[in-house]
Structure 1
Amino acid sequence: MPKAIQQNLKVAKEYTSQANYPKAYDKLWEVLILSDSLQSNEAKYLAYKNLSQLYSIFYEKEKAFTAIDSMFVYANKAGVLKQAYTKSNLYYAAALTYRMNNEFTKASRYLRVSEHLLDSLHSSFNDRLYVLTEKAHLYTLTKNYSASEQLLMQIAPKISETHHYASIVNSMLGDLYVQKGANRKALQYFNKTLEILSKQKNRVGLKVDLLEKTAKLNEKLGNYKTALKQLTQSKALGDSLFGGQSERNKQLFEINDAYRKSIAVHKRSKKEQELRLIKAEKEKLNLQLLFAIVLLALSGVATVVVLRLIRKKHKADKQLAIERAQAEIDIKKKELAVTALQLMEKDKLLAEIKKGLDAVKREENKQSVAQLKSTINVNTAKTWEEFETRFVQVNSSFYKSLGKKHANLSRSELKLCALIKLNFSTKEMAQLLGISADSVNKARYRLRKKMELSRDANLVSYINRF
């Protein structure tokens, strides 16, 4: 983090300790302005953390809660919420802010998270001191006096009067005994706290509060002279710090936010001119916004139209491609059927020629006829190979899909499946396979049994699924 920001945060802390809240406020807003220019999320969350307490001191409840929300947002952006100790510290700050604004339930919730994180780190007593003290004070405020006293009595012996948190612990003990009605014991702890503050010369705001509390207790106990003196001191010190006539307090509420402050340093004589410029700029922005909206709307309409046209064209192209592919398949199927028929006719013709030659041989008994007959042999195997080649071109995945489901099919059964797929009749199958129609029917029966089809199942419909 840049040194300038670190210095401003340090000075803001000192001003807060001295109850010089307006100057502390100014320094924190300077940090926010610098963090914007330097893009430091770490500086932003630290500034909002301190601002939340300043707003709480002057009863700016909503601003205090907004500052807490901003603290968590920028802490997350800075990546520090991944660090358990820092996260615990932020939850403690949130608990403190909610407690100062009398939101005790939320304060307890945030404080429990903070304590749980410290427990997970096995933190030392010094690291847990703030959380434990705040926990005890919340017990007092929610009337759980025994738990508060037990916890504070565990803390008090562990810190000396020179400890920077000694005044807080003793003050909380005083508050506890006031609530319990033990006025003399409460006065004892308040006086001890005032002695510590006089030596340490810090926490001026706490001193004002304590003087008023001790004055009330002395009045109840009959110490009227002391009570009047303390009340006078409290009023004088309080007026200088918080009173309606306090110049520093007036400055605090004149500042609305850092960004407006950074441009609101102009003299009063220029205010009207600034307003006119702002009004003109606003009108200009409104026109630009209107133009942008119209342009965006037109762009949106154009985009929708173009997308629809593209989708329509894509759909048409896809449909055309499907139709073309289907047409090619239909043509190949027709070619395949024609080829099969041609092959059957060829075999039929060759068979007839062979039969004729047999007759010639019986009548003529010529050696040359026998030789010619031997060259004409119906080659069903070669016929099937030609047919199968064309079949695979049209039904490329048929054998693969069928083989996955029924790996035990023989080659002759695969041939039969192919012919069934093409919806050939029993007679046509017999002619192509070179067997009788009865043999085809028997082959179909064996195929159904091998495929484990029920009686109701249709063999043709089943094979057409592949």
Structure 2
Amino acid sequence: MNSLGKHILKNNLTKGFYITTLFVLLMFGSLSAQESKEQSVNKLEQYSDSDAQVLENEYTASLKKADTLAAILTLQKLALLYGHQARHKKSYNKLWQALLLADASKMKMLKAFIYRDIGRHYSYYKRKTKALKFLNSSLDLKKELVQNKEIKDEELANAYLAFVATYRELNDLKSAKVYLDSSAVFLKNSTQLRDKTFYSFEYGVILNSEGNYEKALKAFRDCLNWFSKNLPSYRVLINTYVGDVYKNKQEYAKSENSYLEALELSKSYNVHKDFTPLIYERLSDLYLLKGNKDKAFASLKRAKELDYLYFDSRSATNRPLLEIQDEFLEEKNRQITANKEQRLQQLEQEEQVLFLERMLLFVAVVGLILFINNIRSKHKAEKKILRKKREFEIEKNKEVLELKNKELATSVIKLIEKDAFIDQLKEKLSNGKGDINRQEAKQIINSIAVNNLDNWSEFETRFVAINKKFYTKLTKKFPDLTANDQRLCALIKLNFSSKEIAKLLNMSKESVHTTRSRLRKKLKISRDVNLKNFIASI
């Protein structure tokens, strides 16, 4: 177990494995069902003083090896041993020591079990407030572990059963039943046979209090087999409560035999000695019912003697109990005070470091802001210069383009005028008047026609050169346009009227209108859209 504890603590195994291992270890040596009755007796219940010394040596060795887990588990075994023997001074002492180690080591599952055991010890002394405080601390820790998915929710059943046992011992069976119902919720799908067996026992006690005597006896019989094999000392309690059932059924002989057997079991196993005063009280009541006053008096006297021995704080056995508790509280207070002072110093150092970090961060942020603002200012200035330069270039290009288009338009106008003059000349020559013969006139007309085509080609070349972007966009957006369509678009862009276009393209004005309508269709624009503005926007 020592090596296992080191392995868990030093190598940081997964929480699931840790909790599983821990739970198995906390069962304190439960034996398999295949073992014989003699072999199945719980070893802790057979420990003598020499055996306790062996555990004390194991505890000391665990501390030397820094095996905290093994040390805590050994302390719990010692507490259980001394508790069974009603040596509560030593039992309390071991539990407080275990709690300090578990608290320092942040072992929440172990703390939950220790809180439970301390709460149960307080209940033996009828200190209800203290008992419930520790039991609730145990329950809260287990709920936290369940919420963090470190243990299954079925582990809560054990915590609720501790409340049931406490309220049973405080004779508050109504509250005990409430917590028993809570444990049943978590035992419904549980695989924990141990908890189910304890549930059956507590259920038998409740049934007896409600007058369901046969069901109570059945519940006790159902759990007797498991206790006989795994925790035979608990038969002390089973026989006691079976005796209560028989007494209620007025089967006094069976009741007396059950009580006496419980006392014999306590003596033979050297366990549950602190429970024997209650058994003698029950015997005293039973003997009164049977009319045997001498035995009733003797039993009551014995109950008072044992109660003083095991529970009175004035007895030599229990006088140091309060001192032990004070030592624990003082140790905890010393730890808390030391931790506070250490934490205060740490906070002061952290505050100084934090102040320096904040100052450095402030300087860095201010410097970064100034640097960013400087870059932004430069960037804005550069953008402003680039924007103005771009605007100037665009404006300049626009002016140049307009100037060239004006020059081009002027040349076209002159071309129109020349064409008009040539048309008149062609008309005269066609009539064959003057000194020029008809054959020479035809040659001149053909030459003029060729010259007109050349003039138009020259115009188109110049227009494309000047309005290169316009032609590129026009071709890209409307690839199906013919050369004549592109020529018409160019003339419309230069703001020529239909009459001027008709002269340039040597067609009638009506034909120009027809051509413009066809162009609209190819450009996919309705008659509501101004053709000139549309072409200018390209």
Give the TM-score band, short-chain normalised. 0.5 to 0.7
**What does residue 150 of structure 1 align with?**
215
User: Scaled by the length of structure 2, what TM-score is found?
Assistant: 0.55
Change (3 A) 1:308 1:132: farther
- How many residues align? The count is 391
Match of 2:285 among 199, 210, 216: 216
Contact 1:384–1:432 (CA under 8 A) maintained in structure 2: no
**What does residue 358 of structure 1 align with?**
415
Asked if 1:249 corresponds to 2:318, the answer is: yes
**What is the deviation of 1:373?**
2.5
Between 232-241 and 110-119, report the one with greater CA deviation: 110-119
Asked if 1:373 corresponds to 2:459, the answer is: yes
Letter in 2 for 1:144: E
Asked if 1:11 corresponds to 2:78, the answer is: yes
Output one character per residue of 1:179-216: Cα deviation in whole Å (capped at 9) or x when no partner: x5748365554344334334433211211111112212
Distance, in Å, in 2 between the alignment partners of 1:242 and 1:435 is: 125
Task: Report SS of the residue matched to 2:233.
Answer: coil
Letter in 1 for 2:211: Y
Counterparts of 1:187-198 in structure 2, within 5 Å, are 187=256, 189-198=258-267
**What does residue 232 of structure 1 align with?**
301
Distance, in Å, in 2 between the alignment partners of 1:257 and 1:445 is: 105
Contact 1:80–1:87 (CA under 8 A) maintained in structure 2: no
Task: Report SS of the residue matched to 2:291.
Answer: coil
Gaps of 5+ in 2: 6-68, 423-447, 479-491, 499-515, 530-538
Asked if 1:164 corresponds to 2:233, the answer is: yes
Contact 1:255–1:261 (CA under 8 A) maintained in structure 2: no
**What does residue 200 of structure 2 align with?**
132
Change (3 A) 1:354 1:284: same
Distance, in Å, in 2 between the alignment partners of 1:241 and 1:210 is: 14
Distance, in Å, in 1 between the alignment partners of 2:386 and 2:466 is: 26
Change (3 A) 1:96 1:385: farther
Larger CA Rg, structure 1 vs 2: 2
Counterparts of 1:2-151 in structure 2, within 5 Å, are 2-36=69-103, 40-72=107-139, 81-83=150-152, 86-97=155-166, 99-100=168-169, 107-108=176-177, 110-112=179-181, 114-122=183-191, 124=193, 128-140=196-208, 143-146=209-212, 149-151=214-216
**What is the deviation of 1:379?**
7.0
Distance, in Å, in 2 between the alignment partners of 1:175 and 1:357 is: 136
**What does residue 503 of structure 2 align with?**
none
Change (3 A) 1:133 1:442: same
Contact 2:122–2:128 (CA under 8 A) maintained in structure 1: yes
Distance, in Å, in 2 between the alignment partners of 1:261 and 1:292 is: 28
**What is the deviation of 1:65?**
2.9
Contact 2:79–2:90 (CA under 8 A) maintained in structure 1: yes
**What is the deviation of 1:354?**
4.7
Match of 2:402 among 341, 345, 349: 345
Between 217-226 and 363-372, report the one with greater CA deviation: 363-372
Counterparts of 1:198-347 in structure 2, within 5 Å, are 198-256=267-325, 259-260=328-329, 338=395, 342=399, 345=402
Contact 2:163–2:179 (CA under 8 A) maintained in structure 1: yes
Letter in 2 for 1:245: R
Between 377-386 and 7-16, report the one with greater CA deviation: 377-386
**What is the deviation of 1:152?**
3.4
Between 96-105 and 12-21, report the one with greater CA deviation: 96-105
Output one character per residue of 1:285-316: Cα deviation in whole Å (capped at 9) or x when no partner: 99979979997998999899999989998998
Asked if 1:443 corresponds to 2:529, the answer is: no
Letter in 1 for 2:98: V
Output one character per residue of 1:255-310: Cα deviation in whole Å (capped at 9) or x when no partner: 3356446599xxxxxxxxx9xxx99x999899979979997998999899999989
Letter in 2 for 1:136: G
Task: Report SS of the residue matched to 1:19.
Answer: coil
Contact 1:354–1:376 (CA under 8 A) maintained in structure 2: no
User: Scaled by the length of structure 1, what TM-score is found?
Assistant: 0.62
Distance, in Å, in 1 between the alignment partners of 2:151 and 2:392 is: 72
Q: Percent identity?
A: 19
Gaps of 5+ in 1: 265-273, 389-409, 413-429, 448-466
**What is the deviation of 1:117?**
4.1
Letter in 2 for 1:153: K
Task: Report SS of the residue matched to 2:463.
Answer: coil
